[in-house]
Every structure is written in structure tokens, then in C-alpha cells.
Chain A
């Protein structure tokens, strides 16, 4: 009997072409989320919240109920949904501009209330959709469309470490940072996402997974170089691992 596994499309992903750029991490992360939702068998009771930004089209890619939210507001929208449908699986999928800039208040307070939701926070150190502008997560000296001389701490401050920032809040139960730059990290990312969704099913409270993701077009480099940048530069500022886990 064959023991080989067949690589197939998860049911939670629609059969459609993604509009993401070549080498972008969103496609991988979408697939991981879809696989996790399939494996937990919760597709039919999942409601996703797509952000403003590159992942705005998530509702065209995921094969379950999804709503749009105004820029930065997914945690508030998720709060509304989860409060009236506590047995549904509710998650937000947000970029770094959405979550760590315009939506800072919403993420902090949803986390502090300990909303029983799962947040997938895609950190690619820039605003991808609008043309590669500086994000709160942009590294010092990183050149972007709005920091052409490189981000300077004196003028623009420092990269925000969202997991570490949220870890002081009593409402947060699980905070972890993963990356999708190489196969080992992708597998670890999936395991971590699985836990973040399982936490919600177990009513453990607020879980957030920060995913370091490649943006080759925004960074002005090849997909290979973008993966290398994650390993050599991005993880130096945003170290991988579990930042907080109060679920055990």
C-alpha cells in the first residue's frame, strides 16, 4: 500500500488564481490557514475578516464566509461577530500597516479584552498594496517609497514589535512569531497556526501569530533574495518563537 500523500488544494481554498506578486508570502500563508481550518474540521463555522491591504481579496480566495473591514478595524469587527456568535471560529488576517499603524487601538483593546479570536498578523515590513511605503515594522535603514533615504530612528522611530508589545496585556494568551521563508519555517508556521485556532476552539482566549513574510516587489529584490533577507535581517529584529503562552 502506498503511503505517499497527495498534494491537493485544501477545501478551504477556492479554486482561483491569486493576484499576489511572484515570491509573495501571502499565498503560502493563505494555504496554511486553509489547511489548518480543514484539519480542524471547522470550515462551515468559520468567519474570516479580510483587511485593507494586499490581503483584501482574501474573500475571493478562502472558501468560507468572509467579510471586509475598514482599514485597521478587523479586531473590532471580529469582536462584534464573536460576541453574537461565540461558537463560530472568527479570525482576522491583517498586514502590518493595518494592524500596527492605523489599527493600533483596535488590536490592543481586542487583545486586552481577551477576545476569543485568532489574529494572523502578516509582517512584511512595508505597505505592499499601496506601493511599498514605510510601515511601523520597517527596519532601520530600510528604503521604502516613503523613506527613500532609509528609515531613520530620529525621524520615524523604531520598528514596532507587536508580539512583545501585546505580551504585557493580561488578555493575551498566545503570541508567537513565525516565518514562511523556508520549508522548515513553513512547517513550524503551520503548527503554530493550528495551535492558535485550537486555542479558540478550546475557549482559551486571544491568540496572535505574527508571520514574517516576503515582499520581493516592495523590497525591490528577487524572491530568493527576499527569503534570504528574512533570515539575515528581519529575524534579527523580529526573533522567531513563542513570545507568550498561557494556554498550557
Chain B
């Protein structure tokens, strides 16, 4: 299939990626910096005779997603940080009800109303639960406009495969920057799976029910154990990361999303100066690439975690490294962005 190269904004690439991946319905609510997603979908989904609806609230939007997901069709919502906080109840229900769906967080600075520039301070919210109950959300971190286009496809496939909500954790910078991307001339055929649990009306079969309430003795325990088995399988099968210049590296940077993109330039600066600096970029934040960090701790001297927050993913890196080598942290909170120079200066110091 022929490919075409085009210049695109991250938020728009996300929409086109979701459309190519067969997204049947989109529900959103205005919030910056994800507004271009809702705006673009409001035109494109209607043109394609698919479902677009601007919901009355973030809460309504995620529950409209839940309704569509219950029918087995592909549904998506997007928001930015405060809006994603509001969606957490619904995400917990999606996990409990074992419904596949795509949630996108184009992160902005927090806490509270924060600001509207890109940030990475919702790592904990995305990866450690966010909502109530013992559940996990597959979390994909996009670091480029190309990934904004590619990830919805992967997200929907993982969601369907495991019957679970998947989040794309982007940020205001990745969402609003423009880059050339490559996309197929014609979208490939959407891979769907048989959904023998979906509510489609009980013609010719027994009625189905979708629920997360398990009142009788031991039922909820059994349900949680079943969910956990699924999460173990995801941890085993779906870890994704990118390793750059890690072989023989003295210092290994750990960074995701926009921070990783900036660090790529830092790697080039280091290489030019003859410093052995590599990077591990987690693509799945959950499941976290624990083994990659455990392995690198055997060869590298030091890990530097670079995040646009005050230290969130660094906790997972430290858990994976288990004290074998020092794990240092360089953070930038509040929606501010790193310069390559300040990261490189820090590396030279350590």
C-alpha cells in the first residue's frame, strides 16, 4: 500500500488515526489543550456518518462511551487533565464491566485548574488507577505526531483483545505541535474481534447483561481475581518501549512522551561530545517495562529520569532497578518545557 507524507498537528493526527482504526462514536467536551480533537471530530465523524456528540459534561461523555462500548462498537472520548479527573468514575466502571474503550488525555498543568500548557503530571492518575477499585488501564504514551496517528489503532486492538479501557496519555505539546507524518494512502481494513458479550438485542440467543456489581459471597473476589489474571497476561504480552543507544551506555535517560522527544536531541549532543548516554522510552506506561530497567541496571552506571512533573514515573523506575544503581531525577512541573541545554548540562554534572 502506498504511503503519503503530510504535515499534521498532533491532535488532528489522533483523530485521523482513530477514524482509520474504525472509531464508531466520539463523545467530547470542550477543554484546552485537547479542543482540536473535539473540533475536528465534530466535522469528520458527521461527514463519515458516524456518531459525534458534544456531551453536557465529561461525566456524560465517558458514560456515552460506556453505552457504545456495551454494544461492542468502538467508542472514544478525549479530554485534558481536569476533565480526565471527572471521567475516572466511568473508567472504573469500564474496567469493572470489562468494556473496551479509548480515552485520551492531552495533559495540561495541574493541580486544580493549573494552566493550559502541556505537562506530564497525570502519570500517577493514568497508571496507578485514578478511579476507585482494584483495576488497571493500559496506558500508551505518545511522543510524536506520528504516534498520535498510529496509537489509536493499537489502543482499540488492545482494548478489544483484553476487554478493557485503554488510555493514550499525550500532552499539550504533542497535541498541538506539527510534524510530518506518514500515513497509508488508504486506511487498512479494521481488525475486529468477535464480541460474544455485546448487547445487541437477544434475538436467537439468551439475554446478556453487563455489570460490575457482585453482591453474593465471594463473587467480587472471584471477579477481581479474574481481572488480575487478565492484567498479568497484559503485563506478560504487551510491554512496549524504545531503547536508544543503550548498549555500553554509562548514563541511561528514562523519559516518556514529549520529555523523551526532547531527550532524543540531548542524546545527539552527548554523542557528539563522546559521552555514552542512552535512553529507554516506555511506550506502555502500564504495563511498565520493568525488565528493560532491571536489565539496564546490570550494565549502566546511572539512570536519570526526566519528566515534566515533580517525580512520578521515577518511582516505577526505582522499583524496577531495586537499588542496583543510582536513579536520579530531573523534573519540570507546572506546564513548563525543558530546553535540551538544561538537560544536557545536568547530565554533564552527574
Contacts of A109 in B (CB 8 A): 55-56, 60
Q: Is A81 a contact of B56 with CB atoms below 8 Å? A: no
CB <8 Å contact, A70 and B90: yes
Per-residue contact bits, chain A 18-41, to B (CB 8 Å; 1 contact, 0 not): 000000000000000000000000
Tell me the A55-107 residues at the B interface (CB within 8 Å): 56, 59-60, 62-70, 73, 76-85, 88, 105-106
Expressed in whole angstroms, the Cα–Cα distance for A73 and B70 within the complex equals 14
Contacts of B55 in A (CB 8 A): 76, 109
CA distance in complex: A73, B61 (Å): 10
Instruction: Report yes or no: A81 in contact with B67, Cβ–Cβ below 8 A.
Output: yes
Produce 1/0 per residue, B23-51, CB < 8 A to A: 01101000000000000000000000001
User: Are B207 and A73 in contact (CB-based, < 8 A)?
Assistant: no
Q: Which of A1-9, A42-50, A157-165 contacts B (4 or more CB under 8 A)?
A: A42-50
- The answer, yes or no, to whether B66 is at the interface (CB within 8 Å) is yes
Is there an interface contact between A65 and B200, defined as CB atoms closer than 8 Å?
A: yes
Q: Which residues of B contact A46 (CB under 8 A)?
A: 201-202
Contact of A64 among B57, B59, B65, B201 (CB under 8 A): B201
Q: How far is the CA of A243 from the CA of B69 in the complex (A)?
A: 34
Q: Are A106 and B56 in contact (CB under 8 A)?
A: yes
Are the CB atoms of A77 and B66 closer together than 8 Å?
yes
List chain B residues, Cβ under 8 A from A44: 201-204
Partner among A59, A64, A73, A88 whose Cβ is within 8 Å of the Cβ of B63: A73
B73 A84 Cβ-Cβ under 8 A: yes
Instruction: Give A70 to B69 CA distance when docked, in angstroms.
Output: 14
CB pair B201–A45 under 8 Å, yes or no, is yes
Also in contact, A68 and B67, with CB within 8 A (given A80-B75, A84-B73, A105-B60): no
Q: Which of B107-115, B134-142, B167-175, B209-217 contacts its partner?
A: B209-217
**Chain B stretch 88-104: residues in CB contact (< 8 A) with chain A:** 89-90, 93, 97
Interface residues on B, range: 35 or more
CB-defined interface of A168-191 with B at 8 Å, one 1/0 digit per residue?
Answer: 000000000000000000000000
Are the CB atoms of A73 and B51 closer together than 8 Å? no
Query: Interface size for chain A: under 10, 10 to 19, 20 to 34, or 35 or more residues?
Result: 20 to 34
- Please report the C-alpha to C-alpha distance between residue A108 and residue B57 in the assembled complex, in whole angstroms: 12
Q: Which residues of A contact B93 (CB under 8 A)?
A: 68-70
Contact yes or no, A85 B202, CB < 8 A = no
Q: Which residues of chain A are near B27, meaning CB under 8 Å?
A: 80
Within the complex, what minimum Cβ distance (angstroms) separates B85 from chain A? 15
Closest to A77 in B: B67
Interface mask (B173-212 → A, CB under 8 Å = 1, otherwise 0): 0000000000000000000000000011111100111111
In the complex formed, the residue of A with least CB distance to B94 is A70
* Complex interface: chain B residues within 8 A of A43 (CB): 202
Query: Chain A residues near B61 (CB, 8 Å)?
Result: 76
* B59 cross-chain contacts in A, Cβ below 8 A: 73, 76, 105-106
Which chain A positions have C-beta within 8 A of B201? 44-47, 64-65, 85, 88
Determine whether the beta carbon of B68 is less than 8 Å from that of A84: yes
Query: Known: A47-B201, A64-B202, A80-B68. Contact between A73 and B53, CB under 8 A?
Result: no
State whether A65 and B53 are in contact (beta carbons under 8 Å apart), knowing that A56-B213, A59-B211 are contacts in the complex: no
Bound CA span A73–B67, Å: 10
B71 within 8 A of A: yes
Mark contacts of B150-173 with chain A using CB atoms, 8 A cut-off: 1 yes-contact digit, 0 otherwise.
000000000000000000000000
Q: Assuming the A-B contacts A76-B55, A79-B53, are A84 and B71 also in contact, with contact meaning beta carbons closer than 8 angstroms in the complex?
A: yes
If A67-B70, A67-B210, A68-B211 touch, whether A80 touches B202 (CB-CB below 8 Å) is: no
Instruction: Please name all residues of chain A whose beta carbon is closer than 8 Å to the beta carbon of B63 when the two chains form the complex.
Output: 69-70, 73, 76-77, 80, 106
Bound-state CA distance A63–B89 (Å) is: 28
Alpha-carbon distance A63/B25, docked complex (angstroms): 28
Query: Complex Cα distance A29/B110, Å?
Result: 47
Question: In the complex, what residue of chain B is closest to A68 when comparing beta carbons?
Answer: B211
Beta-carbon contacts under 8 Å, B279-311 to A: none
CA distance A79 to B69 in the complex (A): 12
Contacts of A62 in B (CB 8 A): 207
* Contacting pair B68 A83 (CB below 8 A): yes
A18 to chain B, nearest CB (A): 14
When C-beta atoms are compared, the residue in chain A nearest to B198 turns out to be A65
Q: How far is the CB of A65 from chain B (nearest CB, A)?
A: 4
Q: Does B252 contact A (CB under 8 A)?
A: no
Per the bound structure, the CA–CA distance linking A123 and B71 in Å amounts to 29
> Nearest CB to that of B68 among chain A residues?
A80
- What are the residues of chain B within 8 A of A81 when measuring CB–CB? 67-68, 70-71, 199
Contact flags B211-225 to A (C-beta < 8 A → 1, else 0): 111000000000000
Given the contacts A59-B211, A76-B67, A106-B63, A70 and B89 also touching, CB distance less than 8 Å: yes
Distance (Å) between the CB of B156 and the closest chain A CB? Answer: 15
C-alpha spacing A44/B207, complex, angstroms: 9
B57 contacts which chain A residues (CB < 8 A)?
105
Cα A49 to Cα B97 in complex, Å, equals 14
Give chain B interface residues in 63-87, CB to chain A under 8 Å: 63-71, 73, 75
A84, B213: Cβ atoms closer than 8 Å: no
Q: Which B residues are CB-close (under 8 A) to A60?
A: 209
Expressed in whole angstroms, the Cα–Cα distance for A68 and B212 within the complex equals: 7
6 A-B Cβ contacts within 8 A?
A: A64-B202, A73-B90, A79-B60, A80-B64, A83-B51, A84-B73
Closest 5 CB pairs of A and B: A80-B67, A76-B63, A80-B64, A44-B203, A109-B56
